[in-house]
Amino acid sequence: LVYFITPTYRRPTQLLDLVQVSQSIQHDKATYWIVVEDASHGSKRVRDLLERSGMLFAHLAVNSPEAPKKLSKQKMKAMNAPRGVLQRNLGIDTVESLGVPGVIYFGDDDNKYDARLMEAIRYSRGVGIFSVGFRAEALYCRCKVDPMTGKVTGTTNRWFKNKVNYAMDMAGFCVNSELVREKHARFLQDSPPGKIEHMFLQQLVEDVTDMEPLLNNCTLIYSWHVKTVVGKPPKPKDSWDPAWKQIRPGV
């Protein structure tokens, strides 16, 4: 079983992004989708989409600590404040309360996935890692594997420093739920900028060589760290239309 944990928040591209994730993962019959909204309550639009997916799913909600009134999402993003932390942790809580062991993957709603990803990570026993398309400004973040030992030696990410900063991308690792339970691992809201993955992984492994290279020794890319953008940001004049409420974005 793969637990696919997706934090999500309301914005113009939210449903379109979730529709894409859903279409990438819904045909895998051994994937459990855990969608956690950054909100006080789950919304009907997300629930409808989940029901339509035909998947095993959990639909949860928890607010991020900073209220949008104090610090706008744009501001938090500019600060590179950790995003989706409480949402992913609630996802982990849910996996543990379900009690069925499986492999946990953190699949952000705006990334893109190949439908073969789940099958490729399903049998991982500890922390599995793999390459991701388009991490930061690179074409991909490749994991380096020593051909002699088959052990991971690092990544092409320039911030990578063994034990000091694993600099893995959220989309480029998975972890067995049994290991997470054993180590009581959780994401930390006070992770330094860009270190949220590192702060989580260091609770699970002692060294980068403890990670298992997946996807054909990290040579296949089944996940891409991208962003969906609209031509230009919507102007207030255009975006408000009394008929908008009658338009349902396909859900």
Ligand X SMILES: O=c1ccn([C@@H]2O[C@H](COP(=O)(O)OP(=O)(O)O)[C@@H](O)[C@H]2O)c(=O)[nH]1
The residues binding a second copy (CB under 8 A) are: 12-13, 16, 19-20, 23-24, 27, 112, 114-116, 131, 133-134, 136-140, 142, 156, 158, 219-222, 224-235, 238-239, 241, 243-244, 246-250
Q: How far is the CB of 90 from a second copy (least distance, A)?
A: 27
Q: Which residues contact 70 (CB under 8 A, 6 or more apart)?
A: none
Residue 8 touches ligand X, criterion: CB under 6 A: yes
Q: How far is the CB of 158 from a second copy (least distance, A)?
A: 8
Residue 218, both tokens: 């990290």
222 binds, among Mn ion, a second copy, ligand X, none (CB under 5 to 8 A by kind): a second copy
Backbone angles phi, psi at 203, to 5 degrees: -80, -15
Q: How far is the CB of 170 from a second copy (least distance, A)?
A: 13
Residue 108 touches ligand X, criterion: CB under 6 A: yes
Distance of CA 197 to the CA centre of its chain: 10
Closest C-alpha to 131, from 146, 152, 110, 149: 152
Segments in 67-214 forming alpha helices (H)? 73-78, 85-98, 117-121, 177-183, 196-201
177 binds, among ligand X, Mn ion, a second copy, none (CB under 5 to 8 A by kind): none
Alpha-carbon torsion 30, 2, 58, 11, what sign? negative
Q: How far apart are the first and last CA of the chain?
A: 27
Q: How far is the CB of 146 from ligand X (least distance, A)?
A: 29
CB–CB of 174/105 below 8 Å? yes
Measured between alpha carbons, how far is 35 from 50 in angstroms, rounded to an integer?
A: 8
Binding piece for ligand X, criterion CB under 6 A, among 4-12, 95-103, 206-214, 239-247 = 4-12
CB nearer ligand X, residue 28 or residue 109: 109
7 binds, among a second copy, Mn ion, ligand X, none (CB under 5 to 8 A by kind): ligand X
Residue 64 touches ligand X, criterion: CB under 6 A: yes
Residue 144 touches ligand X, criterion: CB under 6 A: no
Q: How far is the CB of 209 from ligand X (least distance, A)?
A: 27
Contacts (CB under 6 A) with ligand X, residues 65-94: 73, 83-84, 87
Residue type, 40: S
Closest C-alpha to 214, from 103, 108, 84: 103
Q: Count of residues for the chain?
A: 251
CB nearer a second copy, residue 9 or residue 140: 140
Residue 45 touches ligand X, criterion: CB under 6 A: no
Residue 9 touches ligand X, criterion: CB under 6 A: yes
Looking only at the bridges linking them, the beta strands covering 31-37 and 152-155 are unpaired
Residues that bind ligand X (CB under 6 A): 7-9, 38, 64, 73, 83-84, 87, 108-110
